[in-house]
């Protein structure tokens, strides 16, 4: 018998936006369940980041409801552009994150060691990340996100800037986290990777929901049964 998968995030955005346009995005509804990887897709300006900001509670103009699993809102947000403190070393960033997440010391040390090794930053752990390359800084954001093993990951365009090995390590880590039962919402423009790894897709255009479902649902919606995600994407937009 298939185990019932719980929703880790329910998104109901009636409308949300900015002072200039308070209803920049409208009618965006979807659910992320345990073990799912949902690709949040759409052209530049479609509303992906605005949707993520709505989920994170960062927008002044918001009507709707965002429900995380449980009271504790256990999520990790991995931003597209690294946000780091100039005066903290990589290790100090990790210690800081561990204290925010209230991680047990032994658990923290084990995870920290594993993540630094995976992402090949062991030798740099006592250096200031201001001097790191963009890709290395992005890896730090991944490490900080993976440290606390949350119920859901919200990842904004992870593929730009990471080298192929780092992408492989990142995808391996996501796969492990899905098996553990975490849900993932990931915005990206890299459609061939999205087609390969995502369980389903939320496609936005002009601040509206254009499609929501797995590849087969989206192919049916376009009337193109064998089309790639890329072809469906262009047909729908
Ligand atoms: N801080 C802001 N103030 C006003 N308008 C904004 C702000 N941020 C984004 N917008 C507008 O909201 C719309 C959606 O932008 P958003 O950044 O959500 O798109 P996106 O799908 O993430 O695009 P991209 O793929 O280029 O990152 C755009 O028209 C954009 O100009």
**Over the chain (237 residues), what is each successive 10-residue block's mean pLDDT?**
78 96 96 96 93 96 92 86 93 96 94 95 94 92 94 93 91 95 94 92 95 94 90 88
Q: Output the pLDDT for position 1.
A: 45
Cα-to-centroid distance, 64 and ligand 1 (Å): 19
> Do the Cβ atoms of 101 and 50 come closer than 8 Å?
no
What is this structure's pTM?
Answer: 0.93
| Long-range contacts of the stretch 132-139 (C-beta < 8 A, 24+) | 132/90, 134/82, 134/161, 135/161, 135/162, 135/163, 135/166, 137/82, 137/84, 138/82, 138/162, 138/166, 139/166
Mutation probe of ligand 1 site: the residue of 22, 42, 43, 48 with most atoms within 8 A of C-beta: 48
> Do the Cβ atoms of 226 and 219 come closer than 8 Å?
yes
Name the closest-CA residue to atom 2, ligand 1. Answer: 18
* ipTM value for the complex: 0.98
Strand partners, 213: 201
Residues in the ligand 1 pocket, defined by CB under 6 Å? 18, 20, 24, 42, 44-50
Name the closest-CA residue to atom 8, ligand 1. Answer: 50
Name the closest-CA residue to atom 17, ligand 1. Answer: 49
Q: Output the pLDDT for position 3.
A: 61
Name the closest-CA residue to atom 26, ligand 1. Answer: 44
Tokens, residue 191: 């459609």
Q: Output the pLDDT for position 149.
A: 92
What 3-state class would DSSP assign to 76? strand
Provide the 10 A C-beta neighbour count for residue 3. Answer: 8
Q: Output the pLDDT for position 236.
A: 86
- Going by their DSSP bridges, the two strands 37-41 and 208-213 should be labelled as unpaired
């Amino acid at each position: 018998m298939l185990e019932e998968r719980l929703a880790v995030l329910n998104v109901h955005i009636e409308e949300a936006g900015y002072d200039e346009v308070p209803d920049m995005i409208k009618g965006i509804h979807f659910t992320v369940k345990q073990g799912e990887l949902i690709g949040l897709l759409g052209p530049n300006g479609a509303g992906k980041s605005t949707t993520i900001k709505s989920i994170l509670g960062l927008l002044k103009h918001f009507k709707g409801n965002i429900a995380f699993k449980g009271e504790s809102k256990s999520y990790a947000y991995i931003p597209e552009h690294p946000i780091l403190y100039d005066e903290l070393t990589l290790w100090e960033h990790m210690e800081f994150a561990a204290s925010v997440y209230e991680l047990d010391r032994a658990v923290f040390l084990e995870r920290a060691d594993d993540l630094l090794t995976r992402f090949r930053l062991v030798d740099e752990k006592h250096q200031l990340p201001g001097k790191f390359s963009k890709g290395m800084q992005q890896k730090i954001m991944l490490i900080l996100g993976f440290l606390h093993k949350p119920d859901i990951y919200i990842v904004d365009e992870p593929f730009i800037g990471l080298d192929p090995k780092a992408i492989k390590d990142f995808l391996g880590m996501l796969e492990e986290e899905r098996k553990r039962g975490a849900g993932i919402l990931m915005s990206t423009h890299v459609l061939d990777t999205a087609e390969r790894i995502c369980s389903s897709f939320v496609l936005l255009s002009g601040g509206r929901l254009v499609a929501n479902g797995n590849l087969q649902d989206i192919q049916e919606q376009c009337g193109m049964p064998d089309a790639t995600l890329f072809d469906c994407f262009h047909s729908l937009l």
